[in-house]
Homo-oligomer: A and B are copies of this chain.
Amino acid sequence: METKVSSASKEVIIGGERPTVLIGERINPSGKKKLGEALKAGNLDIVRQEAKAQTEAGADILDVNVNIFGADEVDLLPKVVKAVMDTVDIPLCLDSANPEALEAAIKVYKGKPLINSVTGEEQSLAKVLPVIKKHGAAVVGLVQDDEGIPPTPERRLAVANKIVKRAEKMGIPREDIVIDCLSLAVGAETTSGTTALGTIRLIKQKLGVNMTLAVSNFSFGLPDRELLNNAFVAACIAAGVTCVIVDVKKVRPAVLAADLILAHDKYARRYVENFRQRQQQAEK
């Protein structure tokens, strides 16, 4: 299964036995006070810096989220998307829970974006899927519905299936849906890892769609988060996740290790190249 997204000049393909696609998570004010304040003030310097830094660090796609209390996303998201498009040439993942903001951003976007996200909630399905269909975008589907985030892989599969079926019924092809299997903080919820891995395996087997995961939340509240995130990302990619939403600079080495393990990096070329780059940076 191949999910294609694009910018004005570049196409990125998720899945199809290719290396894991890296979606940079850092243009997101959640937990980033400085970025949040800059965005509210209409200052997009940090956004441009982050876009550049993540792309240089090896991001394939950049997630763009401007969800700040008190800001008008419908106005802000397109502006930030434009600033990122002016800075880098890789595809974007337009990230908002507000369908109007998503549509406003899609309208200024050049290419085929990934939209983050639709959920299994009736209101979300009803409002987001028509936007996806209308603009021919790809979409991230979160495995949560009107009752919340299901606690078992079987029930998360059911939500994923609902999203896929509803989308297909509207004429959105299955390959344009990327399911986010959701990883909760394992420090708070002991079964977070087993539920995520079980969901990934079930969805791979039953639906065959591409899958993503925002890894960093998994280690929330625990020490040595990099070690835990690296182990988790390797296990998830080995189980079937085909793109990850991460801090690219931090997590890319572990993703390249996982790609090498999965025979998606012939002659270890990307792995070794990344090692050399890190060595050169360390020497500077």
Contacts and interface: CB of A to CB of B under 8 A. Distances in A.
Interface of A: 186-187, 190-191, 193-194, 197, 222-224, 227-228, 230-232, 234-235, 237-239, 253-254, 257-258, 260-263, 266-268, 271-272, 275-276
Contact of A254 (B223, B231, B260): B231
Main secondary structure of the interface of A (DSSP, over half): helix
A261 B234 CA distance: 11
A254 B237 CA distance: 16
A197 B201 CA distance: 14
Contacts of A228: 257, 260-261, 271
A228 B258 CA distance: 8
Residue of A191, A193, A197 with most chain B CB atoms under a 10 A cut-off: A193
Copies in the complex: 2
Contacts of A187: 268
Nearest to A190: B263
Contacts of A238: 197, 235, 238-239
Contacts of A267: 190
Nearest to A186: B260
A139 B157 CA distance: 39
B194 A272 contact: no
Contacts of A194: 261-263
A260 B191 CA distance: 9
Leading 3 A-B pairs by shortest Cβ distance: A193-B261, A231-B257, A235-B238
A180 B267 CA distance: 25
Contacts of A257: 227-228, 230-232
A197 B253 contact: no
A261 B222 contact: no
B224 A253 contact: yes
A223 B260 CA distance: 12
21 contacts: A186-B261, A186-B268, A190-B266, A193-B263, A194-B261, A194-B262, A197-B262, A222-B268, A223-B272, A223-B275, A223-B276, A228-B260, A228-B271, A230-B231, A230-B234, A230-B254, A230-B257, A231-B261, A235-B237, A235-B238, A238-B238
